[in-house]
Amino acid sequence: MADRTEPARSGNWVRTAPGEPVIRNVNWGGLRTLYIKEVRRFFKVQLQTVWAPALTTLLFLVIFTLALGGARPAVMGVPFADFIAPGLIIMGMIQNSFANSSFSLLVGKMQGTIVDYLMPPLSVAELMAAMTGAAVTRALLVGAAVWLAMALWPGVDVTPRALPAVLWFGLMGSTMTALMGLLTSIWAEKFDHASAVTNFVIAPLSLLSGTFYSVDRVSPVFSAVMHANPFFYAISGFRYGFLGRADSPVLFGALLLLAINLALAALIYALLKRGWRLKN
């Protein structure tokens, strides 16, 4: 009987033959490195990627409250400023999550450095996790900055009443747009393509999703359109975490966002596995 030798093992690596290392399970080192790289990329210009979006979102609150003056109607039984504040927070989060992930692979394709993403010993799932995680990190930073500014703003109450709902819908909403951004960066061949998705898909879906108004104050036709918009469930559920009330079924929205994220992740996994629009 021929002698059998066990493969040498070192940490997360298995060396089956000279020059042929195989990574066991998850390449945590590579996953962490890519995640840190993506976070550092947007954090180097944090005035543009974190603080500027936070200021822009806060200006929405200031403009609407000042424009209404003393005639500030109550919405869903709460002051108007308290009603729109949670929606503005998550709107800033989902828009910036998309902006971050839609830039990742696209800039590599435009600059000819896409090989830096494809050649390292990372699985497709690890690549997705690192870039999605970095986008969600940016969303959380923007959301925290906006929340802090609104907490200090007089006349606005942004005290969470259901923290699990805040965390779940904030995470699911940011992950959804992060995956949409990653899908866009795979499909797009130039920056105009990503800008078109931002201007004609992400911006309308986020602005027309009940951020500034309640669904019970619109026409039945537009109400049906809003209920077909997944952003509506993210904003409504996130608002529930602050107000304790929502204009959509909270549990249904939570499960719907989870299902959408799983479907998007499966689609992106298949495209990355094939190398669609990434490998020539």
pLDDT tens for 192-220 read 999 999 999 999 999 888 888 888 888 88
Q: Where does the pLDDT of residue 178 fall: very low under 50, low under 70, confident under 90, or very high at 90 and above? A: very high
- The structure tokens listed for 224 are 């049906």
**242, 246, 43, 233: which is closest to 151 by C-alpha?**
242
Query: HEC profile for 89-121?
Result: HHHHHHHHHHHHHHHHHHHHHHHCCCHHHHCCC
pLDDT tens for 91-141 read 999 999 999 999 988 988 888 888 888 888 899 999 999 999 999 999 999
Work out the average pLDDT over 77-95: 92
**177, 159, 157, 158: which is closest to 169 by C-alpha?**
177
**Rounded to the nearest 10 degrees, how much is the dihedral formed by the CA atoms of 117, 122, 123, 127?**
-50
Give the span between the Cα atoms of 119 and 33, in whole angstroms. 14
Cβ-based neighbours of 69, under 8 Å, separated by 6 or more: none
Work out the average pLDDT over 255-266: 98
pLDDT at 20: 57
pLDDT tens for 18-69 read 555 566 688 999 999 999 999 999 999 999 999 999 999 989 888 877 776 6
Q: Where does the pLDDT of residue 272 fall: very low under 50, low under 70, confident under 90, or very high at 90 and above? A: very high
Angle of CA points 9, 14, 16, to nearest 5°: 110
Q: Where does the pLDDT of residue 11 fall: very low under 50, low under 70, confident under 90, or very high at 90 and above? A: low
- pLDDT tops 70 at residue 15: no
First to last CA, the chain: 47
pLDDT at 47: 92
Work out the average pLDDT over 171-188: 96
Which SS3 state, helix, strand or coil, does residue 17 take?
strand
CB 217 within 8 A of CB 232: no
pLDDT tens for 140-176 read 999 999 999 999 888 889 999 999 999 999 999 999 9
pLDDT at 5: 45
